[in-house]
Amino acid sequence: MPKYVLLCEDDQYDRAVFAEIFQEVEKECQLVMLEEGSEVMPFLATKQRRDAYPALILLDQNMPRKKGTEVLKEIKASDDYKHIPVVIYSTHDGHELASESKALGAATFMSKPYDYNEYITMIKQLLAITG
């Protein structure tokens, strides 16, 4: 299975921007998108082999039904999934959220970009995490 990044983002515009830039800057890694945090664990449960897991999970913090840090807790509590690097990102550039995310096991915390060039930079930084 090809390497892929799992993006969980409820905002349609942000998903579209991620998809466009991802296609532009990355040729070897796919982007798979979910719209809600509550979809992440069921999605992972459909993967039968470890090599079918995402290389990275990117979670928006502010989603309506389940916040990114709640999903992060579930992932890191699972023996099957805790090895997957997870990044929390948010429009709120709070040191408290960054500290909480890292304490819960996130690889890093990122602030949601405001313009296209910042998205490109962010995606390149994320791809560096996948190796």
DSSP letters, 16-61, are HHHHHHHHHH-SSSEEEEES-GGGHHHHHHT--SGGGS-SEEEEES
Supply the range of the domain harboring residue 93. Answer: 4-130
What pLDDT band is residue 45 in, cutting at 50, 70 and 90?
Answer: very high
Beta bridge partners, 5, equal 31, 56
Q: Name which of 58-62, 78-82, 116-120 the model is least confident about.
A: 116-120
Nearest-angstrom CA–CA distance, 7 and 30? 10
Q: Determine the pLDDT at residue 93.
A: 66
Q: What is this structure's pTM?
A: 0.92
How many domains does the chain divide into?
A: 1
Q: Judge whether 26 and 58 are in contact, CB under 8 Å.
A: no
* CATH code at position 120: 3.40.50.2300
